[in-house]
Amino acid sequence: MASQIVQHEHSSTLKHHFASDAQQLDAATIGMWLFLVTEIMFFGGLFLAYFAYRQAYPAAFASASNKTNLWLGAANTTVLICSSLTMALAVHAASLGKRTLLVLFLILTLLLGGAFLGVKAYEYHDKWVHHEIPGAHFECEGCEDAGHAPLFFSLYFGMTGLHATHMLVGFVLLVIIIVQAARGKFTAKWYTPVEMFGLYWHFVDIVWIFLFPLLYLIDRSHTGLK
């Protein structure tokens, strides 16, 4: 078997087991996409449970879902979409090597993400106050088929809770990246962590885009009899 010496430029960010920067970036990108696929499957289990129970108990789901606050949900959706915009702008700034702009957009993303989490916390508190948390003290005022209403709320907390956990993790990662960016770690030639984090953040946004209609919008005009 013939062999040859493979020459490559050793930039400081190139790990020794890769042959080129391009290969390294490629590998990172595929890796992140694969990770996002696993996340789709992870949320998928909950989506399956949601569809199964909504199909089985439509009256309970319809009236219970009216208990979510449409305006807060819409506000959160807007906030998150804006944060995806700022994140995309951050990646773009990174690709141009513009450090200040990069840090600015990252911080904006962080603030918007924080706003989302704050609204969520308020919503959860509101549910607590109205005893809409499944368990011993659950009450669903005016709900049809109240015996099955806890299922909706279990899924509400499970799905938004899992989503919020992902946002929290993203929050922490984002802080780390902001610090690294402020210290000038990223250049126009290498900003892979920013790019990869961008993918992750967009994914978390997309999950919410699915959650919002399912939990807040469907059957909003449902007027059940009681």
Alpha carbon 156 to its chain's center: 15
Instruction: Round to whole Å and give the CA distance between 14 and 33.
Output: 21
CB 145 to another protein: min, Å: 4
Alpha carbon 86 to its chain's center: 15
Q: Which long-range contacts (CB under 8 A, 24 or more apart) does 124-132 make?
A: 124/157, 126/69, 127/67, 127/153, 127/157, 130/67, 132/67
CB 218 to another protein: min, Å: 15
CB 185 to another protein: min, Å: 17
- Please choose, from the candidates 113, 123, 205, the residue with its C-alpha nearest in 3D space to the C-alpha of residue 157: 123
Alpha carbon 11 to its chain's center: 33
Residue 27 or 82: the one with the smaller Cβ distance to another protein is 27
Residue 151 or 181: the one with the smaller Cβ distance to another protein is 151
Residue 37 or 121: the one with the smaller Cβ distance to another protein is 37
Residue 56 or 111: the one with the smaller Cβ distance to another protein is 56
Residue 138 or 171: the one with the smaller Cβ distance to another protein is 138
Instruction: Round to whole Å and give the CA distance between 151 and 64.
Output: 9
Residue 180 or 182: the one with the smaller Cβ distance to another protein is 180
Tokens 């989503």 appear where?
163
Q: Interface with another protein by CB under 8 A: which residues? A: 1-6, 15-19, 23, 26-27, 30-31, 34-35, 37-39, 41-46, 48-49, 52-53, 56-60, 134-138, 144-148, 150-151, 153-155, 157-158, 162, 224-226
CB 40 to another protein: min, Å: 8
User: In 62-79, which positions are buried (b, 16+ CB within 10 angstroms) versus exposed (e)?
Assistant: bbbbbbbeeeebeebbeb
Tokens 């949900």 appear where?
73
CB 210 to another protein: min, Å: 15
CB 144 to another protein: min, Å: 5
